[in-house]
Amino acid sequence: MGYRTHVLKGLRWNGLLRVASKAAVFFKVIVAYRFLSPREVGLYGLALIALGLLEQLTETGVNVIIVKEKKPLSYYIDTAFLVSIGRGIIIALILLASAFFLPSFFRDNGLFSLLLLASIIPFIRGFINPAVAKYQKNLQFGLDSLIKFLPVLSDVFFSIAFAFTWHSAFGIVFGLLCSAIVEVATSWICVTPRPKLRFRKEVYRAIVSPGKWINIAGIMTYAEQNFDNVIVGRMLGATALGFYQTAFNITSSLIGDIGLTFSQVLLPIYGKIEHDRKRLVRAVLMVFIPAAIVMAIPVVLLNFSIIQSILIFFLKDKWRPMLPLLPYLSIAAWFTGMNLLCNPLFLVTRRYKMMVALYGSNLVLLIILLVVIIPMQGLVGATKAVLVARMLLQPLYIWQARRSLRTRTHVSDQQFATAAVRLE
């Protein structure tokens, strides 16, 4: 089967999963957020940032190593399960400790109870059966998408139910906790084989010994995508962050995640053809132009007043201050999506240091712009800073992508698997 068939098949299922997931999350936003104040949404966002950062810092690459390596699933699954449990415990303890100082940093004591509850989530997720990765390994995209969609659906259901009942961000975090329970239960009920409590030192080393530049690249990626929320929350407060994050999530879901969907599917495809430069160039061209056009459609739609009026109809009038943020964030999301399309190319050519440089440059530039512009223009200034940072880095991504197409580097399965985790 050629790369075109694999791309189309993967895009079909991954695209369906992404569309269904984002539709479900979008439904969660317009329904659950009706019962919450912007401050509550901002506090929820801060709790998720803390959780996400810890997960990124402790990433091991268990699933992707299982997918990419040629050894049988049984070789990894037992040790991978123990590593996953240990990682979950570590994240839970750190998040629990952070509940005693982060509320002071963001000057809002409402964050304390959310962090306490959120600390349970990584502990539960640590017990997920690593064998769920077998569907992606065997190119069973349909089953893989179904397994991944069930927790999303449960998150939406429980979050809306608890938000309606409690009218608090506590309800949304509790919904996320219930989703984690569903994810663990699904992985044990529907997926075989099931792991045993057995440890192998050589497997442990293969799982927890990724290259330092890949680790740094992943951390920089997360920081570049989320540090703006930290600055907005610190400088403008939880209420302003609620407006900012809601607008950001809407534009990211409808625009930026299209690029993420393509990048997740293209990574294994590029890995198979990276030694054939002509095929690789054709594959890149086949994807970049259609993806750019597809991502441009929601950019245009979100800037129509009738679409914005529909959003406010569902979210209620209290969310109207979010509307001036959409034009800037929608265009910024388009640039983000285009940049994400370059990541698979950088990974298969082992240009990890360059990725660190790109994301680091974007992060530094973004921080400077946010700190300078926010005091002068407030929340709208924050969105302008994000857009300018994305625009200024775009030529560098294009230049480095062209250089990557001329790079001839061998990538071992182990190196490729370790790198690939950053796009999961």
State the virtual CA torsion across 297, 339, 373, 112 in degrees, nearest 10.
100
Report pLDDT for 243. Answer: 96
List, for the chain, all residue ranges whose pLDDT scores fall below the cut of 50.
211, 410-424
Report pLDDT for 213. Answer: 58
Residue appearing with tokens 């449960």: 154
* Stated pTM of the model: 0.81
Give 298-338 pLDDT, tens digit per residue.
999 999 999 999 999 988 999 999 999 999 999 999 999 99
Report pLDDT for 217. Answer: 67
Give 101-151 pLDDT, tens digit per residue.
999 999 999 999 999 999 999 999 999 998 888 877 676 777 777 888 899
| Structural tokens at position 96 | 């629990």
Max CA pair span of the chain? 60
